[in-house]
Amino acid sequence: MSDTNLLQLSAAWRQLPRLMVPFDRQLSNALRTWAPSCQTQQLASETTRKLFVELVTFGGVNQCRRFDALARPVINDHGESVVPPRLSTIVVQFLVTQYDGGPEPAALSCCQVRDFGCLLSTELPLLKIVDLESETYWRRVVWCYADEPLSYYEHDHLTPRRFWKQHGVELKLARMIEQQDPVYWELEGLEDTIKRAAPFVNNLVVQQLRPYAMVEPLEDYEAYTIRNAPADLCHHGSLAVLGHLVYLTSLSLVFGVKHWNKAYQTRYSHCSQTDIEQLGMGLQKLVKLKKFNLSHTRLHASKLKALLESLTPLGLETIRLTHCHLGEGCGGPLGRFLSRFSPTLKQLDLSNNRLDAPELDQLCPGLSIYQGKLGKLNLSYNPIGEAGVLILGGAIKGRAQLSELNFTGCPLGVEGSFRVIQLLSFHETLRKVSLNCVPISPEGGDKLVQVLLENNRIEEVQVRDCGLTERVRARIGKILRKNASARHRSRRSDGKVATPPMLRSPASMFQLERQVFPVQP
């Protein structure tokens, strides 16, 4: 725009006569299509105009529908719309085809910025679109890259008009790491992309990592492909580049295959010692990391030790090592890690592994001397047995550890489940226990009812598919509800809880869906 004297130009327009013509549909449509816009009228070149088509007005009654009304456009025999696009639409389409990175083109109105975001492809490289600020565009990115539509609507309700760009950048970066062959990481500029995207990435979820297809050739030998490669040769791309994500607070990695929907080779379910060491190099730089999740891989003792050494300096609150084949020799490194770790850890998830009683015997000494207060411990689907329950109970007895325990699917037997019920009775800090799919004898059911009647501090006990009768399960649920009401009345009488308004939040539908259809790990 130029420094046009708008006041002088407006005064000149008022002195010009207006032309009144009878209404004509073709002239009206032509005027609406080709009349100069307000932006055009402010150009310096417009000050010397002799014709002012915008001063033409139509008389009479307009009984014709506007050509650009909100109706389906008429299509001719060639499949083309007979309604010409607006000039502003043509300009936006041209800007979209010529876009080669950077922010939105300058001098666009809010409607044009929205149209620009609607037309721009969501498949563009992240390095080109990281400077875009269009909420419309990042909404489309989240919709295209989210695993399930529900997460899109949850984000839309819980954070309206916020964090769309952040969430879109996180999804694009995760998809880039998942789908790109590690051979081309350097060629495609993955490290540069991570550096540019770092200010917008707080939560990164990588659901599968691709290993190298070829084994590095030895001297004087050609490169070759191994079908059943040993773990030491199943290398992935260097995850040391994750160290550039200095604002990362939550990291979830799947080295192996989470969903076996086709015939993967063995190397997809392994990771090498080098992979863990490079991951550790990146983790040591993530000083703001609070949640770490590694799953669906195979960690033996040496790999686990290297991983835990890199996690020790961090102030993590949640650590999940699920489906990692943790077994023989892994209890000792876990125990030493807990004995040295900072008192920030609140949740430890070791589910779906192979930890038995001897491994718990190595882990529990570290748990007993842990400096902080570990709230949740998940040992579901581990062969800990009755001996493992006794070892765990002895380690936490008299200590302010563990408010929630999960033994779902553990082969405890009726004796082991009875030991858990006894642990629930004498461990004062324990509030929630899960014994789903663990057999409970009738004596154990009666003991559980007695424990619940004597301890109203217990908030939740899950006993699905445990062999209990419907009468016992109904009685357990009734006692838990009664205890919850008693605790609530006690807190209200002490003035610790304010009475909330009886309003049903729209977000409750998302919470209900998560309970009915839980997301599989």
pLDDT digits (tens, 9 = 90+) for 476-510: 999 999 988 988 888 888 766 555 555 455 555 55
Position 208 confidence tier, pLDDT thresholds 50, 70, 90: confident
Mean pLDDT of 132-158: 84
90 by Cβ neighbours in 10 Å (0-12 / 13-18 / 19+) ranks as exposed
Q: Is the pLDDT of residue 516 over 70?
A: no
Q: Is 228:199 a contact under the CB 8 Å cutoff? A: no
CA dist 262 to 206, 227, 258, 259, 404, Å? 19, 16, 11, 9, 37
Nearest-angstrom CA–CA distance, 411 and 420: 13
Average pLDDT over residues 204-226: 70
Residue 19 φ/ψ, nearest 5 degrees: -105, 120
> What are the pLDDT digits (tens) for 299-358?
889 999 999 999 999 999 999 999 999 999 999 999 999 999 999 999 999 999 999 999
State the pLDDT confidence band at 70, using cuts at 50, 70 and 90: very low
pLDDT at 503: 47
pLDDT (tens digit per residue) in 242-257: 999 999 999 999 887 7
Q: Is 329 left (phi over 0), alpha (psi -120 to 50) or beta?
A: left
What burial letters (b/e) apply to 19-54, b meaning 16+ CB within 10 Å? Answer: eeeeeeeeebbeeeeeeeeeeebbeeeeeeeeebee
